Structures are given as structure tokens and as C-alpha cells.
Amino acid sequence: MTEYDSKYLHGVCGAALVLALLAVAPAARAADYDVGSIHISQPWSRATPKGASAGAGYMTITNKGTGPDRVNCVSSDAAAQCQIHTMTMDNGVMKMRPVEGGLEILPGQTVTLKPGGLHMMLIDLKHPLEAGSTMKATLKFDHAGTVDVEYPVAAIGAPAPGADAGGGSMMSGDHGGGMMMAPSGGNSGGGSMMQMKKP
């Protein structure tokens, strides 16, 4: 083998290794967003299986201002509706409800929307969320204004960016339970509630 052949082969192998690493690398780090005194970091979402009617988006929101603000999700290119939801456990049943009037973020407070807690619920998906793609949502803050945020979509069951693998998944169904949207009964706001029964 000549020196030229050896260098050529070494270059081809190096390029193949880089491509292989890119193929298994997690989704690219999302952009941060600033609107008024609000800072949004690490927006992300998880892929959904075919036929899923709901998905979720996550992010960290910091209020750098001197007064409280409230956020609502007003639209998404991936779903007919998007809402900020809270999640609680009641007698072994996980209950998700819309945060009526928007999620309040106090001055100096950082709120993380994450699997198993507060999250942005995407209702009536227009198409499955696919790993490696992005989806967009428009967030409206009462005081700071409106901002379009892009959410990189990670694999089904993927952990939050920077978190250890193996975390639980609210949306992947890995608990064997089923999710359903149902009238909330006691919710005077006329919203809906999602329940997941845990075994």
C-alpha cells in the first residue's frame, strides 16, 4: 500500500467515524429566547408514536424582571391546541389539567417544564412528532409579549437535555397505563383533564 493509499484510507475511515457519531448524537442544543424580561432556555419535545393524538413540549423559563408575568401557549404548528398543564397524583391516578389563566412566573423565579410535572400539552396532533425534527409553538406572556419558540424533537422516552438516561416518560406509555382526555367535572373553567392510571 502506498503512502497516498494509506492517507486516503485513513481520511475515509475518519469521515465515516464522524458521520456515525453524528447519527447517534442527541438532538442539537436548542436556541435560547428572550422576550422582555423573560428568558427561555432548553426547549425540547419527544417524538410520538404513529396515531398519537397528544404530545408535549418542555423548557425552562426565567423571569428576570421586577414583576410577575403569566405565560400561555397560543398556537403550535404541530397541534390544533396547546396548553400549559400541571400534573398531580390522586389515589394512584396521574391527573393533568390546564393551568387556568396561564402559568405565573414570579420575579427572579425559574420554572422548568419537564416530564412528570408542568409541561406544554399539544392536543390533537396534526402529525406525529418525529425525532430529529423541530416543532414550533407561540407563547404569549401577559407583560413580556409574544415569542415563537422552536422545540427540537428527541427520541421517544429520551431524557431531558443534560439529564441522565433512564428517566421516566410521561408520554411513551412505558408504565403500561393508558391516557385519556375527559371532562374535569369540578373544573369551572370548562377545560379538560388527562388521566393516566398507573399499575
In a domain, 1, yes or no: no
Q: Is residue 134 part of a domain?
A: yes
Residue 47, burial from CB neighbour count under 10 angstroms (0-12, 13-18, 19+): buried
Residue 198 lies in a domain: no
In a domain, 127, yes or no: yes
Answer whether residue 19 is part of any domain.
no
**CATH number of the domain to which 43 belongs:** 2.60.40.1890
Residue 9: CB atoms within 10 A of its CB come to: 11
- Other C-beta atoms closer than 10 Å to the C-beta of 186 total 7
Nearest-CA neighbor of 149 among 53, 44, 36?
Answer: 44
Residue 178 domain flag? no
pTM of the model: 0.71
pLDDT in tens, the chain (199 residues): 555 555 444 443 343 333 333 333 344 567 999 999 999 999 999 999 999 999 999 999 999 999 999 999 999 999 999 999 999 888 999 899 999 999 999 999 999 999 999 999 999 999 999 999 999 999 999 999 999 999 999 999 999 887 765 444 444 333 223 343 333 344 334 444 444 433 3
The answer to whether residues 36 and 66 touch, using CB atoms and an 8 Å cutoff, is no
Q: For residue 58, give its domain range.
A: 33-157
Q: Is the residue at 188 inside a domain?
A: no
Whether 165 is in a domain gets the answer no
Q: How many structural domains are present in the chain?
A: 1
Alpha-helix residue ranges (DSSP H) falling in the chain: 3-24
